[in-house]
Amino acid sequence: MTIAEIYERLDELSPFELQESWDNSGLLLGERGQEAARIVLSVDIDEGMIEEAEENTLFILHHPLIFSGLKRLLWNEYPANLLRKMVRKNHAMIAMHTNFDQTHLNRYVFEEVLGFDVAYCEGFVCVTEGEWRSDALLKRIKERLGLGQMRIVGNKKSVRRVAMTTGAGAGLMDTLDADLFLTGDIKFHDAMKALSKGLMMADIGHFESEKYFAEALAPYLKNLPIPVIIAQSINPFTYI
């Protein structure tokens, strides 16, 4: 298949025009007329994945490897070190970031991973309503995401409305009407602001909440005439 054919299918599924203005989703490496022999799906890409992949592989990633403007390409620096290896193997790369967050990923994690019934989704935020003891609910969330630990802001004994944004969504707290907000990358001042608003927050991790990208996308590509492989990039963080 050509990159153009695959790109058009992805655009129909999750229009690239939905991406945020600061984002860099779309075709980032290769050309539309290039032939792809196989597809690899992953949140991110690393050196091991590139070395293992055969030539003419198309990587469909959640996070854009080229995010902000590149002012130089030094082969010993990230991301140029990875791009050099990809070019040598005639690899191509498409990123589906904030567009896929809004159309598929957040809802997939909320429903399929965490097991919530969605009351409504608005942009990047999924919301459910019910009645839970917060300690039991947080334990369930930790188990379903496979988290060894989870940072909590605030303390409520019971919760009736839960909101979630995968990745880093703390900046959306002013748009919420919720008792508990699940998101990743909660900074100190985000936590202080949440306390002042009476909003309980749980840090579910950036990588940990978005690592389901490949399995969320894969079912929509199962009928393609080329192999589609799910890969899991490394988490850059370790916990001691």
pLDDT tens column, 62-112: 999 999 888 899 999 999 999 999 999 999 999 999 999 999 999 999 999
The predicted pLDDT at position 237 comes to: 87
Output the six-digit token pair for 91: 């690899």
Domain borders along the chain are 3-97+212-230, 100-206
Query: Which fold, 3-97+212-230?
Result: 3.40.1390
Rounded CA-CA distance 145/53 in Å is 28
Class of domain 100-206: alpha beta
pTM above 0.85, yes or no: yes
Give the residues of the chain that fall short of pLDDT 50.
none
The predicted pLDDT at position 70 comes to: 87
Rounded CA-CA distance 216/52 in Å is 23
The predicted pLDDT at position 161 comes to: 98
Of the candidates 118, 131, 121, the one whose C-alpha atom is nearest the C-alpha of residue 157 is: 131
The reply to whether 100-206 shares the fold of 3-97+212-230 is yes
